Amino acid sequence: MLHIDDVSFRYRGAETAALDGIALDIPAGGVYGLLGPNGAGKTTLISILAGLQSASSGQITLNGRPLAAARAADPRAIALVPQDYAFYPMLTVTENLRFFGGVLGLSKAELRTQIDAAVAFARLEQVVGKPAEQLSGGLRRRLNLAIGLLGRPQLLLLDEPTVGVDPQSRHFLLDSIAGLPATGTTVIYTSHYMEEVEAICERVAIVDHGKVLAEGALEALLRCDESVVELELNAELPPDLASRHEAVGEGAMKYRLKLTSAADLPRLLDNLATAGCAVQQLKVGRENLEHLFMRLTKRSLRD
């Protein structure tokens, strides 16, 4: 659907490029995660995809057409839900939706249908008459999302849509976003919360310093070659086992260990039993995005 080929971008006066040869293929359907720490270049890429900035070099096509031509042919094809609140605080929810629907050029009948659909999707029914400035952080995010959906975009760009929301609204937002591909909208979801990306994205690109460090189906990225075991014990891991398995501490009595062969796991469990450590939890053979990111960059996503 979206093909990004060798795209670079440098802000005026900046010493380094914000995007440095980004190449990505984003298929139709699904939620595609753009994961990276602050300053990685996510917002810059999203702004270029939304037409707010032009790439310094490289090509982008949507369904085989250059991006600008695709947007000119169908101005509603791509919608952006920005990181900031993008509505008028003193207008009510309905007034905001009516205004932004009008900007999109929706007919009266379309406007009514789309506003009803967006309100239902974002579950804003209880607050339609409230000025936006009186909404909680979570409801503001939901209004932002509802506005983005008014034109029934083929591609929805979500720039960190859960920043500053309470856990309940976050859960609701993530569930709603995961359901969008089934309604015909492909989603690009930027975040520095790897748990969110792991929860709702089928494919992921990890970006840092304007470059793609890894890209692919989430399951394939997280499947590791080396066997990895996550253990939770009732006691400290004995030091000899820690060094033999290159253990990394993951919190109180939680460890991440490496195995070199299939026979290593029963041996490890025997050794733990001999040392008097009971295993409370055990997970085998799967990375998580935080570890993958650390392996690629030698630092944490939260740095």
Ligand X SMILES: Nc1ncnc2c1ncn2[C@@H]1O[C@H](COP(=O)(O)OP(=O)(O)OP(=O)(O)O)[C@@H](O)[C@H]1O
Residue 130 or 211 with smaller CB distance to ligand X? 211
Q: How many other CB atoms are found less than 10 A from the CB of residue 105?
A: 11
Q: How far is the CB of 227 from ligand X (least distance, A)?
A: 32
Residue 16 or 281 with smaller CB distance to ligand X? 16
Residue 198 or 232 with smaller CB distance to ligand X? 198
Give the footprint of ligand X on this chain (CB under 6 A): 11, 14, 18, 36, 38-44, 192
Q: How many other CB atoms are found less than 10 A from the CB of residue 172?
A: 18
Residue with tokens 């939890």: 281
> How many whole angstroms separate alpha carbon 41 and alpha carbon 175?
26
Q: How far is the CB of 211 from ligand X (least distance, A)?
A: 11
- Name the residue among 213, 210, 185, 161 with its Cα closest to residue 48: 210
Q: How far is the CB of 43 from ligand X (least distance, A)?
A: 3
The one-letter amino acid code at 150 reads: L
Reduced to 3 states, what is the DSSP secondary structure of residue 6? Answer: strand
What is the phi-psi region of residue 229: left when phi exceeds 0, alpha when psi lies from -120 to 50, beta otherwise?
A: beta
Q: How far is the CB of 297 from ligand X (least distance, A)?
A: 13
Q: How far is the CB of 161 from ligand X (least distance, A)?
A: 12
> How many whole angstroms separate alpha carbon 225 and alpha carbon 285?
8
Q: How far is the CB of 42 from ligand X (least distance, A)?
A: 3
Residue with tokens 């990004």: 4
Residue 9 or 255 with smaller CB distance to ligand X? 9
The two structure tokens encoding residue 8: 């670079």
Residue 43 or 169 with smaller CB distance to ligand X? 43
> How many whole angstroms separate alpha carbon 257 and alpha carbon 247?
5
Residue 7 or 277 with smaller CB distance to ligand X? 7
Reduced to 3 states, what is the DSSP secondary structure of residue 118? Answer: helix
